Amino acid sequence: MPNYCQSENGDRKANAKGERRFFQATVSPIFLITLCITATCAANAQESSKNAQSIPRLISQSPAPALTGVASFGNQISLNGRTLPGTWFQRPGKAGQITTHLSDGAFRQLIGVNFLNSSNSARQPIQWFSSVTKPLVLTARLLGAYRYLDITNFAQTFGWEIRTNGNILVIATPKAQITNIVQSQERPEVSAPLQQTRILVDLDRATPWQVAQGSIIKKIETLSLDPDTPTPKSTVPPNREWTITLDGIADPVLIERYTPQPPAAPPVPPTLLPNLLKQLLPVTPTQPIPPPPAPEPLIQQVEVVKNQTIISLSVPFGLSPQVSTVDTPNRLIIDIRPDPLEERDITWAPGLRWRQHYVNLGTERFPVVWLEVNPRKFGLTLKPMWASPDGLAGTAPLIQTAQRYLAVAGINGGYFNRNNRLPLGAIRRDGQWLSGPILNRGAIAWNDSGQFYFGRLTLEETLITANDQRLPILFLNSGYVQSGIARYTPAWGSTYTPLTDNEIILVVEKDQITQQLPGGKVGETVVPIPQDGYLLTLRANAASAASQLPIGSAVSISSTTAPADFSRYPHIIGAGPLLVQNRQIVLDAKGEKFSNAFIAEKAIRSGICTTATGTLMITATHNRAGGYGPNLAEHAQLLQQMGCVDALNLDGGSSTSLYLGGQLLDRSPSTAARVHNGIGIFLKPR
C-alpha cells in the first residue's frame, strides 16, 4: 500500500505530533487451547495498575468462542532469519495435516501480497506473482481482534518451509536471485499529467518484498560565484526516500550499475573567492543564466544486506511508488506516479468494510482510505481508547494502543499537547468523563446501540459550597491551561504536578476540602489525587477564591453539557472543527478558536462521519494527486460528497492513522506519529 508525503496539521496550542516507534506485543511462548482467551489474559495483565479502580478499562470485550484443536499460536514471525511482529496460529487439518493461519495484516505487509476486492469476509482473493484474472483465494477466519488467512496451500505452492519455535512462526522461502533492474519512461496518462517512470525488477522466482517511505532527501545548495549575489532558495519541495526490499540477492552487475559515485569536490567557500574572480567572471545583465542542476537519479542505490536486496529511490514531491507483481516472468513492477492509490472494496468482517479510492473535487483528485461500520446490525461497538494504561499522560503509536485494547480497527482521535503529552479535548467513556472539552469545539457522541450525535460541545461544571456559593470549573483533566479553576480526578492518574506557577491546590475527599497546598513552580510539586475525591487547582486570578474554600468546607459539583443532548451519550471524543451537520457544511474554524494557519493549511486529514443509512465511516485523506492534502474547507466538501450526513474533523497530519487487523491501511507505520487517543472498533463474539 503506497503512502503519501504529508504535511503536519494541527493547531499550535491544540495539536501534537511525535516520533513513532514500532510495537511488539509480549505474549508468553507457550501452547494454549485457544488463541482468543490467551490474548484477553495478556491484555488484562497489561491493563492492571494501581489506578485500576478509578480509571475505566476497555478490557471487558468477551473472548471469541474457543477454537478447538489449536496446536500453537504466537505473535512473532521469523521471515528468512528476521524476527518481525505478526500474529498466527496452527491447528490440525485433514488427514492430520497441520494448517497455518497468518493474520492478514502481517501477510500483506511482510510478504507484499496484494488483496483484491471481496464481498465475502470468509474468502480473500489475493495476487502475488500470479494471474489477476485467476486469483488465489484464501480462507479467512475472524478470531479476537484479527482476521487470519489459511496460508497452508499458498506456502506449499511457493515452496516455503514453515515450523514453530515457541511463539515464533519460522518461515523460510526459497533463495531468489534478482537478475535485472530496468528503468523506463512511461507516457503520462490523461488522469496523471506528471511525468511517470516504471522500474522493472526481474527475479528467478517469487519472493517476499516490502515498500517503505523514508525521510526527506536534503539537497546540497550550490553557492553563487558572486559573493554579492545571494544563493537563491529552491522553491521545489524536496525529494523523498523510498525503499523497496526484496528477499533475494541481486546480480553483482546490478549492484555495480547502481553504486553511488563519489561526491564531487565541495564548492569553494565564498570567503576564499578573491575580487579577481569577479574580474574574471563579471556578472552582467547579458550573461547567460547557468542551467539548472540535473535531476536526482530515481534509483539511488542497489545494495545487498543480510541476504536482502534494498533498492533506494529518490522520488520527487507529488509522486509515490505503486508496486505490483506478475508471474510470466516473475517480476516486480514499480510505477512512480502521482496517483498510486489502488482501489479497494473488501468486506473484512460482517458489518466492517475496507474501502479506498480517489474522490474528485473539481479538478483535484484526493486519495481516501476509509472503513464503513454498521454498529447496529453485526455486533460492532465503538469505544474511546488512549495511550497510557496508568492515566491520561502519554502517547503511543495507534498500532500499539489498538493492540493493547484488542480493537479490530480504529482511527486517531482528538488533539493533545506534544510536549507534555496531555489531552486537549473531550474524552468520555462508559458515562465517565476522562477529559473535558475545550473552546466549544466539535465532538462526536454515541451509545452502544449505534446512535450518534455531532455538535460543538461545552461541559459546564460548577463547584457548590455549603452556603450555596457557586464557582465555575472551567477545565476537567485537561492539558489546556488558562486562568480559572480546573479539576483533576483519579482518571488523570495517581498524582498531579502543577502545570503553571503558583497554583493553589485544594484536596477534596468525600465531598469535603481536606487540604490547601501551594503548587510552587511548574513541575516541582507532586500531589496525590485521592481515590475518593479529586483536586481543584486555582490558577492566576482564581487563586483569590481559596479564602472562600477553607479546609473542612463541604462541596458538591453540578455538571451538564451544552447542548444538553450530549449528556445522553456515554461515549464522546472531541476534536474539531465540526464539518457537516444534517448534510450541510457548517465549518466555522474561527469560531472554534483554530488559528488562521491551521485553517488554511493543506494537510493529511482524519475524519469521522455518519451516513443516511446509519453507517459510520472513519476516513484518512492523504495528499492530492501531485500536491498537498486538503484544507479544512476541502475536507468538508469531500466528506459531504462521500455521503456524510454529519462529519467531524479529527487530529491530522502525521497523527492520521487508520488501523485494521494489526496494521495501518493508509500509510507506512514509520511515517505515523505517536498519538494520545483514538476511537477503537470492537467485534463482539457471535
Q: What is the pLDDT of residues 296-311, one digit of tens each?
A: 899 999 999 999 999 9
Q: What's the gap between Cα 29 and its chain centre?
A: 29
Residue 149 host element (H or E) = strand 146-150
Distance CA 428, CA 100 (A): 40
pLDDT score of 270: 52
DSSP-derived 3-state class of residue 391: coil
pLDDT score of 475: 97
Query: What is the maximum alpha-carbon separation in the chain?
Result: 91
- Lowest mean pLDDT segment, chosen from 45-59, 133-147, 549-563, 615-629: 45-59
Distance CA 348, CA 535 (A): 45
pLDDT score of 235: 67
Task: Find the mean pLDDT for residues 124-131.
Answer: 95
pLDDT score of 298: 94
Q: Letter for the amino acid at 25?
A: A
Give the number of residues written for the chain.
686
Distance CA 443, CA 452 (A): 11
pLDDT score of 511: 97
φ, ψ for residue 666, nearest 5 deg: -100, -10
- How does strand 527-528 pair with strand 533-539? unpaired
* Residues whose CB falls within 8 Å of the CB of residue 505, separated by 6 or more in sequence, listed in order: 496, 498, 515, 516, 517, 518, 519, 525, 527, 535, 536, 537, 538
Distance CA 638, CA 424 (A): 26
Per-residue pLDDT of 532-567, as tens digits, reads: 999 999 999 999 999 999 999 999 999 999 999 999
pLDDT score of 85: 95
Residue 285 pLDDT exceeds 60: no
- Lowest mean pLDDT segment, chosen from 184-188, 330-334, 488-492, 647-651: 184-188
- Lowest mean pLDDT segment, chosen from 76-90, 141-155, 207-221, 298-312: 207-221
Q: How many CB atoms lie within 10 A of CB 658?
A: 24
Beta bridge partners of 641: none
Residue 196 pLDDT exceeds 90: no
Higher pLDDT, 95 or 463: 463
Q: With cut-offs at 50, 70 and 90, classify the pLDDT of residue 379.
A: confident
Per-residue pLDDT of 507-525, as tens digits, reads: 999 999 999 999 999 999 9
Distance CA 483, CA 477 (A): 15
Task: Find the mean pLDDT for residues 123-140.
Answer: 93
In the numeric block, which cell numbers belong to residue 312? 533506494
- How does strand 432-435 pair with strand 123-127? unpaired
Per-residue pLDDT of 69-82, as tens digits, reads: 677 999 999 999 99
Q: What is the CA radius of gyration of the chain?
A: 28
Residue 192 pLDDT exceeds 90: no
Residue 31 pLDDT exceeds 50: no
pLDDT score of 686: 60
Q: With cut-offs at 50, 70 and 90, classify the pLDDT of residue 217.
A: confident
pLDDT score of 20: 32
Q: Letter for the amino acid at 29?
A: P
Task: Find the mean pLDDT for residues 330-338.
Answer: 96
pLDDT score of 4: 34
